[in-house]
Amino acid sequence: EGRGTALELLADADVFVTNVRPGALQRLGLDYESVSSHNPRLVYGLITGYGETGPDADRAAYDIAAYWSRAGVAHLLTRPGDTPPFQRGGMGDHSAGMTLAAAICAGLVARARTGTGQLVSTSLYRQGAYTVSFDINTYLLTGLPIAVGQRETMGNPCMNNYTARDGRRFWIVGLEADRHWPPLCRAVGRPEWLDDRRYSDARARAVDGA
């Protein structure tokens, strides 16, 4: 009876959004193939934990597992010798939700042009991989992992975090080392650093530390 009511509601719906596991959707008869046969114009938005195929496709998932842990986000933020940090609430959920919202919008645009709906999907695991895509792409290109950033070993003193006198930390964001080094020296009252050979260029500052 409930399934009949659901299909009645979906018969003229524009969008259906679900994060129920694929196997459960099939058992309920609310998977994409079943629903779209009643409403070919439907844009069906699906969020899963680990994707629609593969050995983990039907596993339950929270973002701290699929996004934060298994996708490697926590590992890539862990300093050597430290324990992994805990994520803030819903980080993977929020970004995956925004990704699906964008996919649904694209599906609606496509339907306006073609008259046909479609399945659009993302997963917490995929969202985690996207979050660390800089590391993944660098490794695929070079075969080398990127070291975990530590303020003590950053080569550009204009792009780092520091402690203020009141104990609060702040970031300086001077991406262009040679351009931003002179104003930083003047701002902190150390104009003599500009003539110090140890800090004469970006390479020297990276080696000796400023």
**Active-site annotation, residues:** 93
In three-state secondary structure terms, 189 is coil
Helix (H) or strand (E) holding 131: helix 124-131
Determine the Cα–Cα distance for residues 210 and 206; give it in Å rounded to an integer: 8
- Short-list 36, 34, 10, CA closest to 24: 34
Contacts of residue 150, defined as CB under 8 A and 6 or more positions apart, other chains included, come to 79
- In a 10 Å sphere around its CB, with 0-12 CB exposed, 13-18 middle and 19+ buried, how is residue 160 labelled? middle
123 forms bridges with which residues in the sheet?
48
**Helix 124-131 × helix 91-114 angle, to 10°:** 100
- In a 10 Å sphere around its CB, with 0-12 CB exposed, 13-18 middle and 19+ buried, how is residue 109 labelled? exposed
